[in-house]
Structure formats: structure tokens, C-alpha cells
Amino acid sequence: MSRIGSQGGSVKDGTIAVVGASAAGISAAETLRAEGFGGSLVVIGDEPHLPYERPPLSKQVLTGEWGEDRLAMRDAEALARCGIDMRLGVRATGLDVGARRLTLDDGGRVEFDGLLIATGVRSRTLTGAEGLSGVHTLRTLDDVTALRERLSTRETLAVIGSGPLGMEVAASLAQSASHEVSVVTDETTPMERVFGAEVGRVLGGIHQRMGVTLHTGQTVAGLERTAGEASAIRLADGTKILADTVLVAIGSAPNTEWLDGSGLPVRDGVECDAYCAAAPRVYVAGDVANRRSATGGRGVRMEHRMNATEQGAAAARNLLSEIRGTNGSRAVYTPVPYFWSDQYALKPQAHGILRGAERVEIVYQDLGSADRPRVAALYVCRGLVTGVLGIRIPPRILRALRELIVVPKPLGAVRSQADYVLSAMG
């Protein structure tokens, strides 16, 4: 375990503990200080590294364009100046909500007056791959280090999964022409669950032209091994894909096991209300938060970098308001989610809720340049437009489209406005 900073601060203000030292946790900690919290502020992170950015792992870091030094969110001096007691390489193992006490895997305990949970997610693994050399996931800095080392002496990579992570890795390595890359997915097109089949076909075509071999609509039956190392993937239809390195990119699971027995509502993450509260003086933020809307609608869990920062800050403010006895100043967290994916010269950008859309309306499409298409699409969930996607759409146009979906409305009310906005592109 490494410690940075001190536990100094006003005894009157008490102690706030933040479990999770990535984007949401650091955003929460810095917001608490900015809002005038003068008590002890403890941030617990299970990785030994200082807080770092994860999006570049599948791109710039994987290809060697960036060194690890460019990933840091904050250096040790900045964290110390902020009076944050960083406990790195330590994992929370239990929570007693009533006693307001955390237990840690190093045998320590943290008594708190307020708690913010930002433990994030972990990569899902493939059954049968346990102990098999050459099979990797990509979530942490240690993961990308191990994958880069493997790829430095291997030539063929098979990616299982066609979500943003899998397709970004495929693009990074195909663009560098350093490896033969195959992608196996049960989707009919890459990123279909995220962007829909129409947009997926456009992206899939670009990947194929860049040399990526796509095996769509397929499931993995098993992995073949030679001398304890991965050598091929067997598909359900009998196809064999030779691969000396396999990246499993089949999604993630929220890190909630340590909360067993705590009494907190855990289902696909930690359930919280519209203020990000899971229990009195216990708040949740980031990938692990399953947030209900202010109207009591179904929970939404977002694994987006921008949401982690914004929700971390919002949850911290609300937690501090509760501790100070000013619950009336708490604010409902009402984000318009934003995320992006870097693939070749493209940067698909999305605002709002896309996943689960029953209809995708393409409102602009220019495929004249096969490798640099322009696409704009609206996403309809339960009869209302809840999301918008842009590929190579000018920023000012995409911002205008975003404004159309801040308050979800029927497609008919949005389509004509979108057409007007897009007419400015000529």
C-alpha cells in the first residue's frame, strides 16, 4: 500500500471516504475540497498507480504513441496540496452502513461521516480461458502493459467482442499494419448494440477495407491451445481462426461484491436515487452507479468517461449538502450523456441514450468518401428521441442536434428541426 497526502483537516467537518481512485472518485474528491469541505478526505484505490486516464489505453498507449507518463490525471504533489489521503493498492472488502465503517484488505478500517462509492467495473472474462497464456482483457494500465508485451513477439490477434473497446483495438493495430486482426462477434454488425445496425454497417465496411477480418453473427465454442498458449479460436459453426493472441472484449461487470451483506441495493451496479444517494450519507458515482430518474423510471448505468467526472462532482455536492444538514440544496443529477470512440480518422460522437433504441433514424448520410463518411442519426426509445449520433459532423452542427434531445420528444417533432440544422452543412 502507498499513501499520499495526510489526514489533516477540521475535526468538526469529520471524514469523507471515497472508494475508487479513477475519474469519478477523483472528481468527487476535488469537488469536495472546492466546495469547502475541510475535514479528512480518504480516497481508496485498488491499483498501485496514481489516478490515470483509461480511454487512451486501447489506442495511443497500446500502439506506443504515448508513454504511461501522459496518462496521469493528477500528480502526487497536486493530490497532496488538495489534502487528499490517497491509499493506493488497497481494496475495500466490506461496508457497515449503520456503523459508518469500511474494512480494507490490509486489515485497516476507515470510520466515515460520509461515503462515496466509485468502484467502477472490471472486464468480463471468457469461460475456459483461465490460466491460458495469450488471452487478455484490457481495462487497466497493467492490462495494456501485458498485452503490448505479448503483441511485441506475436503477429495474429483475434478480438472477441465488437463494442467500442474491441473495435478501437482492432483499428489501432490494423492502422499500424503491425498485426493480422480478426474480430469475432455475435452481432450482425460491429457496435450494433451501441449504435444500431445501420451505423454498424458503415463502420464495419471501413474496418474491412483497413484489413480487419470480421466474423459477425458468430459465437465462440472454445479456444485451442498449444503448450499452454492460445493458438486458435473455434466458432460455433466450426470455423477455426488462427490467433496467437486473443483479446476478450465482451463487456464489463460492476465491482460490487465487496458490498455483500451491507444492505445497499445492488443490481447491475449500486442502485441510487436521482440525487445519486444509495443510503443516508452514502452516494454513488461513475460506472458502478445505477441511477433512477427523478420520476422513478428504470435505472440507468453509464460507462462513459464524461459521465464519471460529472456524476462524481454531482454526487459529492449532494453528499456534502446532506452532511451539512442542507438537503434542500441537493440537485437532481440530470445528465445528457456524451461519449465517443476513436477509430481510424473517424470519431463517432453520441449524446443522450442510444442503447436499447427500437428505431434508428438516419437523418444525414454522405458515403461518397468510403473511408471518411458523414452520418447523423436519431435514436428513438419508447416513442421519444433520446439520443443523437454524429460521424464527421461539424461540432457546431452536432451541438445544435444535441439541444434537440435534451428533453425527449416524439420523432415527428424532432425530425424537421434536425433537417433544418443539417441543411447548414450544404
**pLDDT-derived band of residue 8, with 50, 70 and 90 as boundaries?**
very low
Contacts of 253 (CB under 8 A, 6+ apart): 121, 122, 124
**pLDDT-derived band of residue 3, with 50, 70 and 90 as boundaries?**
low
What is the reported pLDDT for 29? 97
Cβ–Cβ under 8 Å, residues 2 and 89 = yes
- Select from 386, 380, 360, 379 the least CA-distant residue to 293: 386
Kindly tell me if the per-residue pLDDT of 260 is higher than 50: yes
What is the reported pLDDT for 395? 94
What is the reported pLDDT for 132? 87
Percent of the chain residues past pLDDT 90, beyond the cut = 84
Which region holds residue 225: left if phi is over 0, alpha if psi is between -120 and 50, else beta? beta
Helix orientation angle between 164-175 and 197-209, rounded to the nearest 10 degrees:
20
| Domain 348-425 belongs in CATH node 1.10.260.40 | no
Q: State whether the Cα torsion 177-183-189-195 is positive or negative.
A: negative
**Where do the structural domains in the chain lie, given as residue ranges?**
2-122+253-329, 125-250, 348-425
Query: Coil, helix or strand for 99?
Result: coil
Q: Burial-class residue 58 by CB neighbours within 10 Å (0-12, 13-18, 19+).
A: buried
**pLDDT per residue as tens digits for the range 118-132:** 999 999 999 878 778
What is the reported pLDDT for 4? 55
Q: The domain 2-122+253-329: what is its CATH number? A: 3.50.50.60
pTM of the model: 0.93
What is the reported pLDDT for 295? 57
Let me know if the fold of 125-250 is the same as that of 348-425.
Answer: no
Which region holds residue 392: left if phi is over 0, alpha if psi is between -120 and 50, else beta? left
H or E element that contains 232: strand 229-235
Distance CA 125, CA 145 (A): 18
- Select from 298, 253, 244 the least CA-distant residue to 274: 298
Pick the CATH number of 125-250 from 1.10.150.120, 3.40.50.300, 3.40.50.150, 3.50.50.60: 3.50.50.60
Quick one: three-class SS letters along 293-352? CCCCCCCECCCCHHHHHHHHHHHHHHHHHHHCCCHHHCCCCCCCCEEECCECCECCEEEE
Average pLDDT score over residue span 74-103: 95
**pLDDT-derived band of residue 204, with 50, 70 and 90 as boundaries?**
very high
Percent of the chain residues past pLDDT 70, beyond the cut = 96
**pLDDT per residue as tens digits for the range 149-179:** 999 999 999 999 999 999 999 999 998 877 9
Kindly tell me if the per-residue pLDDT of 85 is higher than 70: yes
